[in-house]
Structure 1
Amino acid sequence: MLKNLRVTTSKYIDETSRVSFKFNGKSYFGYKGDTLASALLANGIHLVGRSFKYHRPRGIMTSGSEEPNAIVQVNNNTALTEPNVRATELEIYHGLEANSQNCWPSVNFDIGGINNFLSPLLPAGFYYKTFMWPANFWEKYEYVIRHSAGLGKSPTVPDPDIYDHKYIHCDVLVIGAGISGIIAAKTAAKNNLKTLLLDEKNEIGGSTIFQNSDHIKINDQNSSVWLENEINELRNIENLEIKTRTSVAAYHGYNYLLARENLTDHLPKNEKNKKVRQRLLKIRAKKVIVATGSLERPLVFNNNDRPGIMLSSAVKKYADYYGVATGQKNIFLTNNDTAYESAISLQKKGIKVEAIIDIRKQSKTAFTKEADDLGIKVYRSHTVVNTEGYKRINKITIMELSEDGQSFANPEKIELDCDCLAIAGGWTPAVHLFTQSGGKLKFREKDQVFIPDIYSSAQISIGSCNGDFDLDDVIKNSTKSLKEFLNINETEFDNLEINCPKDNKIRNIWLLPSDKVLGKTKPFVDYQNDATAKDIKLALREGFRSIEHVKRYTTTGMGTDQGKLGNMHALGIIAETAGVKMGELGTTTFRPPYTPLTFGTIVGRNVGEYFDTFRRTPMNDWHIENKAEFENVGQWKRAWYYPKNNETMHEAVQRESKAARNSAGILDASTLGKIDIQGTDASEFLNRVYTNAWSKLAIGKCRYGLMLNEDGMVYDDGVTTRLDENHYIMTTTTGGAANVLGKLEDYLQTEWPELDVYLSSVTDHYATASICGPNSKKILNKLIPDLDLSDESFPHMSFKNTKIGNIKCRIMRISFTGEHSYEINIQANYGEDLWKKCMEAGKEFNITPYGTETMHLLRAEKGFIIVGQDTDATMTPIDLQMDWIVSKKKYDFIGKRSLYRSDTMKEDRKQLVGLLTDNPSEVLEEGAQIVADTSLKPVEMLGHVTSSYYSPNLNKSIALAVVRGGKNMLGQKLFIPMENKNINVTIVDPVFFDKENLRLNA
């Protein structure tokens, strides 16, 4: 009996709990446990959206995460809105509001549907050709294209939901809670292994073809009864944690996996408040068992995309699990026996099955025999050649196939009425996570599937994701594999008696024939992106052969479903058309996430003020007390300048820089990256990392180094000090510390694993106060009276270990200002005390704290570069006029070969120079372009200004710039075109102040 399209009672749905929800503004009712898809089908709604390209009507096709059509916008026009949510995965709740996507003004009447009539003008790749002409018209097209792209609408306000991250470690991770997953989890947990079982559904047990079948017996029990008993026992096993509504998104190396756990999406609106919505699980497992099952394939024929055309397994699941009849006149189209099982299940529930269309010539199994006994009409060796119905299918046309399946045995057409066409094209193992892990596949010719072959980590695949599609094979092969994988002798599943019908022959015809020429048909392969079989054949005619190239040309598999249903058919059509074997084509790349993740889940709690860490130096409180203004450098809060008496930044910087040059200045340099380098190969390591030589650097000495990328471009710089024979400490730029450490570790682990070198980040271990200026030696002498500061005992670019009071410290005589300078490094918790002692000792010399802006000015006067400001990843040391730092004797270092490429040796590359304005008081804008002639149109740009300041020590403005061929243009006049005028400049040497370096030893 059918009642409101509901089958009489389903134990998985709570019919005592009625749930109200809205779809496209209209109110409907479902039951607790329904997905939006099952609830809509129960209300007779099949049309739920429009396809991306042609805006064709599309309906619910599947019952799981592979759904390509039924994707909706949830909670539209609110802060909680979310696009591209699969109706098949969204559990309904009180207050749910969902809307169709990619349609206007409504899903029933969509203006975009005109594209369907224009489809002959919009073949695959048309955009690559159409939008190339007329020349320079891209900006005309861009506006329309940008507004046509996408399916749903992105949120425009901050997400109020709460997201979380959690780390989990386990002995065994089991992915998928179908029959094979349950066997694996139970076996592992009962052998004292800490086991985690994950499944994306709200209940474990899976949705396989094995459930609720009278034909499948285990120990003389119905398979579904046996499975239910196993599930009940599973819930009470120690060492086992089960997480439902949890989808594994990514499988990375060394068994590190990411999974999204849905915690509140299924709850009523009033129960969601201030609860964590989704949690990203970061899982590290010793061993992984993949039991992700398989996906039913569709069949490709003309107009195979109408609402009401669904997968056979989905039709069965909606009836068995949700108690919903997807149609009242159901027809099945199949190439294997699983459609018979679905049809039999429906017929026994009182849901009318009009016919089964079987493309096979014959099949004599328990399923086909029972279908005959139930009086279900079967058309053997027939196929569907067309379907009719706009908002929902209402009729199909079938014809008898020829022997080879590529044409027809006779011209007779048979028309059949139906409101649901269930299609069954066989099964594709869900190998996505396996390949993400780095595993390699092999092709099994007999049933044309890709299955796992070479494992990249401690993992196995079992069940139908490993190509076992019969229940006895699933249990027997899974049990055997588990014993070997977990190193156990026996399991409770070794001696199960399984009675499972076999001999399920599949007839694979990747593109079913039509009574029309291909150009007049629409056989869809990718339902979301409207990629058809003729698009794939067009790509082959135009010279594409690689599956990856065909994918991009036709957009097959590039939708939010990642081609879970269509990719195998695309491969089959390419193979048949090109005359190659499918196994030789390989597959497209399966990229994470397996199913879409919200940005909230990825970010977790790191939003708003928690988006990034604020790092503060040990002297930060002193800076605040003394009214410092701060700037963000990397993650650090750095003192920018110290205004006094309402000074502007310019006034404060002028005062600070004059004080540093005339008497003494002090800078908080604690933020510089510091990497401790130890090991017997430390010197050799630095030789390979830096452009200059390091083996002969004496203990107690410091050296400036420049680090390049493989392309020869400057990456980072800093001073490295030799503390002992096999011990160095490297300093890096503030913002580059983490990247440099990561780069160096990468080289040690992948390129030079033979080197005995160990790296440790010690940036936070030390506080650093840098004192510079003519009186810096006197101040340090007051701090440490017993320390010999003579040039002979303590020369420039050297260090000493000493004490300030009873506290150990390391003092380096290095300078970034060109002044006589000392950097005092001390244990971080003594940093503020050190700073105060320095200020007290320097009081009689008017010691002046200065910030990063003054530091930039002081170094610019000396022509010192700042990596990231004066460089932009396109500058070599030669471009920076730093040839002196590139060793001519060393055999090799990172980037050396790239320095001698023809393009990096060109004389007209952009090179670092100094600029002086004709008007000394006129300060250039950083980033301003530099030209030689303003009369030419368009104006040729020669370079740009990288650093620009007014120097009170020189009483004029100065600037650093990169100019094409600049080092051979000294004295030449150029122009800086501004909005209202041109500024005249002269190219000069980049060192403006104390070119003889007399002040370093003053």
Structure 2
Amino acid sequence: MTDYRLRQGGRIDRSKSLSFTFDGQRYAGYAGDTLASALLANGVHFVGRSFKYHRPRGIVAAGAEEPNALIQLGHGARTEPNLRATQIELFDGLRAESQNRWPSLSFDVGALNNALSKFFPAGFYYKTFMWPAALWMKYEYVIRHAAGLGKSPTERDPDTYDKTNAHCDVLIVGAGPSGLAAALAAAKTGARVILCDEQAEMGGSLLNRHAEIDGKPGVDWAADSLKTLAQYPNLRLLPRTTAFAYWDHNFVSLCEKVTDHLADKPKHLPRQRLWKVRAKQVVLATGALERPLVFQDNDRPGIMLAGAAQTYLNRYAVKPGNRGIVFTNNDGGYEAAIDLADAGVAITVLDSRDMPEGANYHAAKTAGLDIRAGKVIVGTKGSKRVEKALIADLGSGGDRALGQVEELDVDFIASSGGWNPTVHLFCQSKGKLEWRDDIASFVPGEPMQKAQASVGAANGAFGLKDALAEGFAAGAKLAAASGLGKAAKPTKAPDAPNGNHLPLQPLWLVPSTEPLGRKGKHFTDFQNDVTAADLKLALREGYRSVEHVKRYTTTGMATDQGKIGNVNALGIVADVQGKTIPEIGVTTFRPPYTPTTFGIFMGRDADDLLDPARTTPMHSWHQRAGAQFEDVGQWKRAWYYPKDGEDLHAAVNREVAAVRRSLGVLDASTLGKIDIQGPDAAEFLNRIYTNAWKKLDIGKARYGLMLKEDGMVMDDGVTTRIGENRFLMTTTSGNAPQVMAHLEDYLQTEWTDLKVYLTSVTEQWATISVAGPNARKLMAELTSDIGLSPNALPFMGYTEGTVAGVPARVFRISFTGELSFEINVPASYGLAVWQAVMTAGEKYDITPYGTEAMHVLRAEKGYIIVGQETDGSVNPHDLGMDWVVAKNKEFVGKRSLTRADMSKPNRKQLVGILTDDPKTVLPEGSQIVEELLDKPPMTMVGHVTSSYWSPNLGHSIALAMVKGGLAKKGKKIYVPLLDGRVVSATITDTVFFDPEGERLRA
């Protein structure tokens, strides 16, 4: 390491030396360093290239507000782009690379953009790439490859992530002086408190500056406070945890970095964890962000914020340079200047104010610092690091530089243009901002969510004494307001000298010797290369709203969301318009506060845990039988059972014919099953379904249609009354969770007076459906205590008994149109009973059939499948199912269903389709027209929803939704295909097989 590292001081652990690489060059640092501080300790300021012009860029800040030092960290599967060097904790073996340069950081061919910058003003892409439209895809390719961001990994992420929920009485965001004071006050009440901070070490600004609290150094007070807090069982400390989003009702999202800072990541720990915190009260102690001064060529490496220079010096024992300038318009810059001078750095202070005043100014003057009042930087020189600063007098109006320009040799410049309270989370909570002239910044105003408080620098209280007092008072007050905290004995807030950064002279744009836009550039947004000239161009081109100016210039739209540049940009826009900043308003802050890894939102819900593969109790048998499977919701369902030499079509034809000829068996265990109990169960079903349910007899089943509030079909199924106050509802396989949620929603929010209890029992029962002319004969061989005659167990009847020696529920329900019995047995007996059915059915040539054959069989009967014949825009009238809609009762969706538009005759309606060529099977989704024209466009009147070859009919069949279709039966229609053929067909009834239903009632 170079002489930029101080021999003593800082918060680093000098006993633990760490090795790391940056762009292939090996360097050394210490435990406690960030990548940024370690690079600066090695004399490395130049760390990247800018997004648009590829100008050399260096480290500007020391925290989340850093706009320049975006790093590609790691390699292989663990590479991650766009991490801020200021937030990367150093670990041994760390491997980092700069971004947005080729072939290297030192020699980047993209820097040609800077020489041609006059051709790339704000909004140039809106004008340039609009014509010719045919070249847009080529433009897009070039633009995307020129984008100044890193590269995402192409390999699978090897790390795991966690999610957890937490409830607390008080959530405190930020562990600086005001946050620690709030935690001390709240914890004493016994309230449940969570204190989170994005830094590895809590203490906030106390770690970066010399301060005194309660007669001891600020860092010692912070350490003692944390020891005290750690002893409270009702308080949780979360370091390395960023509050990145503040939602409604005090729901706050936190991202905890669990192992990012470790070289060897333990396999049993997640990399990061998402905390979903629901707090009764929230204290925002998020501090403030320093803003830079906007002067010509203010983006060279070596130019940083004064507070950042102070942080690197005091926290990391790193000098930003050996000879530099602190350029300020407020008293706060002097604090950094004094600390730098004490460390042996040659410092010149430029103060834009003609007559500086304040405690810090007088302290600097007493210390003998070189202070030049009324002076500003009007330009800089240097290539890959600032080398000279051009200074001049500031005109009395602040609009132009006067007098002779003087050059000063420097290797760094630290600027301070004032401080902006970190109001991002407050704004996310829908709080309104107010402007304060004394600090020239926005502060929290009226909160939308009342159970919160902003304190300390986040509330514009920059004095240490004031910040401690606000935090302590808010902690005690909000803990008591939570209702669980006990009143604690009154105690005094921690005491400290106040200090302040005021007075401040706002200076949004430092003039230069040349007109704006000539020669040099005044940058307001470093990451997106937005200059003051760009802002003024947007105004000249007619943009007035700050939101429109933001989008036209992209200021504040980079990954840092303009944390240090937004207020400067607003000031420039306001000055040009002759308005104040409050008059033009502020742009919107949206989550996340800082870029957040996608992995925490997924957590452990990946692969099988994201979408579990659910199997029925008979799955192993289907596998041994050679079944091919399809996914239905999360279920693996047997699709078809091919024999040697059979393809899908041959196997399905065989299975369909076997069911109609003799006997088939289907694994229907995936059907959703909901046990409904309670004295109001019948009334509940009467309201949920479109048809009547109160008078359904015990032992009887009924088909039901369920609508959404908009009157459109949501689900259908058969529900059976198995007791006076007990029903078993079946749903479609893929829709069972949605139906369960729908039912619970109404019980818990709309009909809270109904005494009804729901239990999902889908996986409790295995369901075996036997269908075909020989189904009753088979059942007779499997049971001796169940009456099977049409009188004993009629169609849509239900009974209980034993099947193959196992207690069973037996239903006379048919989805095939054949004589059918559905056998429900406990899931653990499912495979045994299935095998018994197969053995007993051998004499009847029993044939297992899959979902594809089931679809053909149901289509022959015109039975719908919700989600195939329906698409969210189909109601019962459209399906020709008025028979299932009661006229004299209320049900969910009835109000919408009775609207005139819902029964218009020209709506798409369900019909059958028979092609003129019986062998032509229409593709599902095919468009239907009534008139054939020589060339498109033609008016589409409908589409095919289901289409199959029916071996029982020797003809293709299809179901379709056709405008006014119910009145068009017998009419010719045409189906143009993608291969150029046109298929002619006839609209028919939806029932193609056994229209009288004699077989299923046999």
Both structures adopt the same fold (TM-score exceeding 0.5): yes
1:580: Cα distance to partner?
Answer: 6.3
Cross-structure match for 1:1001? 1001
1:121-132 equivalent positions in 2, closer than 5 A: 121-132=119-130
Determine the structure 2 residue equivalent to 1:427.
419
Asked whether 1:265 is paired with 2:260, we answer: yes
Cα distance between partner residues in 1 of 2:574 and 2:800? 72
1:698 partner amino acid:
L
Matched residue of 1:295: which SS?
Answer: strand
| Aligned residue in 2 for 1:79 | 77
Q: How does 1:900-939 map to 2 (within 5 A)?
A: 907=906, 912-927=910-925, 933=932, 936=935
Which whole-Å CA distance do the structure 1 matches of 2:293 and 2:998 have between them?
83
C-alpha distance after superposition, 1:22-42 (max 9, x if no partner):
212222222222211111112
**Please, what TM-score do these two structures have when normalized by structure 2?**
0.88
| Partner SS, residue 156 of structure 1 | coil
CA distance in 1, matches of 2:680, 2:56: 67
Tell me by how many angstroms 1:182 deviates: 2.5
Partner AA of 1:15 in structure 2:
R
Give the match for residue 380 of structure 1: 373
> What SS does structure 2 have at the residue aligned with 1:1001?
coil
- SS at structure 2 position matched to 1:93: coil
Structure 1 residue 368: Cα displacement? 0.4
Q: Aligned pair in 2 of structure 1 residues 194, 811: CA closer, same or farther (>3 Å)?
A: same
Equivalent-residue separation in structure 2 for 1:851 and 1:618 (angstroms): 15
Q: Does residue 595 of structure 1 match 2:556?
A: no
Determine if contact 2:186/2:476 at 8 Å carries over to the other structure: no
TM-score computed with the length of structure 1 as normaliser? 0.88
Map 1:617-632; keep pairs closer than 5 Å.
Answer: 617-632=616-631
After TM superposition, give the deviation of residue 387 of structure 1 in Å: 3.2
Task: Give the Cα–Cα distance (whole angstroms) in 1 for the partners of residues 475 and 233 of structure 2.
Answer: 19
Give yes or no for contact 2:60–2:66 (8 Å, CA) kept in 1: yes
Indicate the SS of the match to 2:30. strand
Instruction: Tell me whether 812-821 or 434-443 shows the greater mean CA deviation.
Output: 434-443
Change (3 A) 1:882 1:445: farther
Provide the rounded CA distance (Å) in 2 between the counterparts of 1:319 and 1:705: 74
Distance (Å, rounded) in 1 between the aligned partners of 2:752 and 2:148: 46
Query: 1:591-670 to 2 correspondence within 5 Å?
Result: 591-645=590-644, 647-670=646-669
Structure 1 residue 515: Cα displacement? 5.0
Q: Distance in 1 between matches of 2:378 and 2:719?
A: 75
- Aligned 8 A contact 1:434 1:452 in 2: no
Structure 2 matches for 1:909-988, cutoff 5 A? Answer: 912-927=910-925, 933=932, 936=935, 945-962=944-961, 968=968, 970-979=970-979, 982=981, 984-988=983-987
For 1:338, the equivalent position in structure 2 comes to 332
Higher mean C-alpha deviation, range 934-943 or range 544-553: 934-943
Letter in 2 for 1:387: T
State the partner residue of 1:319.
313
Matched, 1:408 2:400: yes
Letter in 2 for 1:200: E
Cα displacement (A) at 1:184: 3.3
The reply on whether 1:484 has 2:477 as its aligned counterpart is yes
Q: Distance in 2 between matches of 1:802 and 1:894?
A: 38
Distance 1:446 1:966, change over 3 A: farther
What does residue 31 of structure 1 align with? 30
Compared CA separation, residues 551 and 715, structure 1 to 2 (3 A): farther
CA distances 1:108-165 after superposition (whole Å, capped 9, x unpaired): 2323233334444444444344433334443343333343346111111112234444
**How many angstroms does 1:477 deviate by?**
1.6
Are the counterparts in 2 of residues 687 and 893 from structure 1 also a CA contact under 8 Å? Answer: no
Task: State the shift of 1:343 in Å.
Answer: 1.0
Letter in 1 for 2:972: Q
609-618 or 81-90: bigger deviation: 609-618
Sort the Cα spacing of 1:506 and 1:889 in 2 relative to 1 into closer, same or farther, 3 A. farther
Change (3 A) 1:893 1:192: closer
1:7 counterpart SS class: coil
Counterpart CA distance in 1 for 2:894 and 2:505 is 57
Match of 2:462 among 469, 474, 481: 469
Distance in 1 of aligned mates of 2:751 and 2:514? 63
Percent identical: 50
Report the alpha carbon displacement of residue 660 of structure 1 after superposing the two structures with TM.
2.0
Deviation at residue 888 of structure 1 after TM alignment: 6.9
Offset, 1:80: 2.0
The equivalent residue for 1:525 is 524
**C-alpha contact 2:187 2:229 (8 A) present in aligned 1:** no
CA offset at residue 803 of structure 1? 6.4
Deviation at 1:14, TM superposition (A): 2.6
Answer yes or no: is 1:816 the counterpart of 2:815: yes
What amino acid is the match of 1:423?
S
Spell out, residue by residue over 1:856-909, the C-alpha distance to the aligned partner (whole angstroms, 9 max, x if none): 2212223333333444445555655556666777778549659969799694x7
Judge conservation of contact 2:438–2:504 (CA < 8 Å) in 1.
Answer: no
| Unmatched 5+ stretches in structure 2 | 481-485
Q: Find the aligned partners of 1:900 and 1:266 in 2 and give their Cα distance.
A: 61
1:64-99 CA distances to partner (integer Å, 9 max, x unpaired)? Answer: 1221211111234x2221111111111223322211
Q: Which runs of 5+ in 1 are unaligned?
A: none
Q: SS of the counterpart of 1:602?
A: helix
> CA distance change for structure 1 residues 569 and 716 in 2, over 3 Å: closer, same or farther?
farther
1:863-882 paired onto structure 2 within 5 Å: 863-873=862-872, 875=874, 880=879
* SS of residue in 2 equivalent to 1:331: strand
Range moving further from structure 2, 643-652 or 306-315 = 643-652
1:278 aligns with 2:278: no
The answer to whether the aligner puts 1:364 opposite 2:364 as a matched pair is no
Task: Give the structure 1 partner of residue 109 of structure 2.
Answer: 111
- Distance in 1, matches of 2:718 and 2:746, equals 20
8 Å CA contact 2:183, 2:475 repeated in 1: no
Summarize the Cα distance change of 1:449–1:660 in structure 2 as closer, same or farther, 3 Å threshold: same
Provide the rounded CA distance (Å) in 1 between the counterparts of 2:902 and 2:536: 42
Distance 1:836 1:481, change over 3 A: same
In the aligned structure 2, how far is the partner of 1:894 from the partner of 1:930? 30
Q: Matched residue of 2:219: which SS? A: helix
8 Å CA contact retained: 2:427, 2:589: yes
Report Cα offsets for 1:166-192 as digits up to 9, x if no partner.
555555543322222323334444544
SS at match of 1:19: strand
Match for residue 506 of structure 2 among 483, 505, 508? 508
Amino acid at match of 2:327: L
Contact 1:161-1:276 at 8 Å conserved across structures: no
Partner-residue secondary structure (3-state), 2:420: strand
SS in 2 for 1:986: strand
Cα offset, 1:319, TM superposition: 0.7
SS in 1 for 2:113: helix
Structure 1 partner of 2:386: 393
| Aligned residues of 2:50 and 2:57 also touching (Cα < 8 A) | yes
- 1:328 counterpart residue number: 322
CA distance in 1, matches of 2:228, 2:632: 57
Q: Distance in 1 between matches of 2:575 and 2:897?
A: 46
CA–CA separation in structure 1 for the residues paired with 2:521 and 2:844: 86
Matches within 5 A, 1:580-591: 582=581, 588-591=587-590
Segment of structure 1 superposing worse, 288-297 or 89-98? 288-297
- Of the three residues 240, 247, 257, the one matched with 1:245 is 240
Instruction: Report the secondary structure of 1:454's partner residue.
Output: coil
Distance 1:83 1:552 in 2: 24
Contact 1:217/1:500, CA 8 A, preserved across alignment: no
| Structure 2 CA distance for partners of 1:403 and 1:200, relative to 1, 3 Å | same
Distance 1:880 1:547 in 2: 52
1:479 alignment partner, SS class: helix
Distance 1:713 1:675 in 2: 22
Partner SS, residue 458 of structure 2: helix
CA distance in 2, matches of 1:774, 1:541: 84
Superposed CA deviations along residues 745-769 of structure 1, whole A, max 9, x for unmatched, are 5566677778877655443343333
Residue 205 of structure 2 corresponds to residue 212 of structure 1: no
1:315, distance to aligned residue in structure 2 (A) = 0.8
Shift of 1:101: 1.2
